[in-house]
A and B are shown apart, each in its own frame.
Chain A
Amino acid sequence: MGDIVVRLTGLTRSFGPVRALAGIDLSIARGSIVALLGPNGAGKTTAISIMLGLAPADAGTVALFGGSPTEAARAGRVGAMPQGAGVVSAATVREVIELARALYPRPSATDRILTTAGLTGQANRRLDRLSGGEAQRARFAFALAGGPELLVLDEPTASMDVAARREFWAALRRYAAEGNTVLFSTHQLHEADEYADRIVVLAAGRVVADAPPAQIRALAGSRTVAFDVAGAAITGLESLPGVRSVEVRGDRVVLTTDDADATVIALAGTRGFRGLEVSVALEPAFLTLTDAGGDN
Chain B
Amino acid sequence: MRAYLRFEVRRLIRDPRLMLFSVLGPVLTYLIFSGFAGSGDQLEGVAAPAALMVGLAGYGAVAGVLSVGSAVAQERAVGWLHQLRVTPLPPWRAVVTKALVSTLTGVPSVVAVGVAGRLQQDVHLDAARWTALLLLLWAGSIPFALVGLAIGYGLAPQVAQVVNFLAFLGLSVLGGLLLPVTYFPAALRHLAHLLPTYRYAELGWRSVAGLPPTPSGLGLLLAWTLLFAAVAAWAYRRAAVGR
A54 & B241 in contact (Cβ 8 Å cutoff): yes
B79 & A83 in contact (Cβ 8 Å cutoff): yes
Known: A83-B79, A86-B78, A86-B79. A103 touches B86 (CB 8 A): no
Q: Which stretch, A72-80, A111-119, A156-164, A264-272, touches the partner chain B?
A: A72-80
A73's partner among B2, B12, B77, B85 (CB-CB below 8 A) is B85
CA distance A78 to B77 in the complex (A): 22
Name the residue of chain A whose CB is nearest to the CB of B75: A88
Known: A82-B79, A95-B10. A103 touches B15 (CB 8 A): no
Asked whether any CB of chain B lies closer than 8 Å to the CB of A98, the reply is yes
CA distance A115 to B36 in the complex (A): 62
A76 & B88 in contact (Cβ 8 Å cutoff): yes
**Chain B interface size range:** 20 to 34
Contact with A along B1-36 (1 / 0, CB 8 A): 011100100111011000000000000000000000
A 85-104 contacts with B by CB, 8 A: 85-91, 95-96, 98-100, 102-104
A84 & B78 in contact (Cβ 8 Å cutoff): yes
Which residues of B sit under 8 angstroms from A95, Cβ to Cβ? Answer: 7, 10
CA distance A274 to B63 in the complex (A): 78
CA distance A254 to B80 in the complex (A): 50
Asked whether any CB of chain A lies closer than 8 Å to the CB of B90, the reply is yes
A73 & B87 in contact (Cβ 8 Å cutoff): yes
CA distance A48 to B4 in the complex (A): 25
Asked whether any CB of chain A lies closer than 8 Å to the CB of B40, the reply is no
Which residues of A sit under 8 angstroms from B90, Cβ to Cβ? Answer: 74
A78's partner among B15, B74, B86 (CB-CB below 8 A) is B86
Asked whether any CB of chain A lies closer than 8 Å to the CB of B215, the reply is no
Known: A90-B11, A91-B7, A99-B3. A105 touches B78 (CB 8 A): no
Asked whether any CB of chain A lies closer than 8 Å to the CB of B83, the reply is yes
Name the residue of chain A whose CB is nearest to the CB of B79: A84
- Min distance, Cβ B88 to any Cβ of chain A, angstroms: 5
Which residues of B sit under 8 angstroms from A56, Cβ to Cβ? Answer: 241
Which residues of A sit under 8 angstroms from B77, Cβ to Cβ? Answer: 84, 86
B85's partner among A54, A79, A91, A100 (CB-CB below 8 A) is A54
- Min distance, Cβ A18 to any Cβ of chain B, angstroms: 13
B 189-214 contacts with A by CB, 8 A: none
Asked whether any CB of chain B lies closer than 8 Å to the CB of A55, the reply is yes
Known: A52-B86, A89-B11. A99 touches B79 (CB 8 A): no
Name the residue of chain A whose CB is nearest to the CB of B85: A54
CA distance A37 to B29 in the complex (A): 59
- Min distance, Cβ B239 to any Cβ of chain A, angstroms: 11
Asked whether any CB of chain A lies closer than 8 Å to the CB of B185, the reply is no
Name the residue of chain A whose CB is nearest to the CB of B14: A90
B10 & A139 in contact (Cβ 8 Å cutoff): no
- Min distance, Cβ A43 to any Cβ of chain B, angstroms: 13
A84 & B82 in contact (Cβ 8 Å cutoff): yes
Known: A82-B82, A83-B79, A86-B79. A103 touches B243 (CB 8 A): no
Pairs of residues from A and B, 7 with the lowest C-beta to C-beta distance, nearest first: A86-B78, A84-B79, A102-B3, A90-B11, A80-B86, A82-B82, A90-B15
**Interface set of A (CB-CB < 8 Å, partner B):** 49, 52-56, 73-76, 78-91, 95-96, 98-100, 102-105, 126, 139, 142, 146, 152
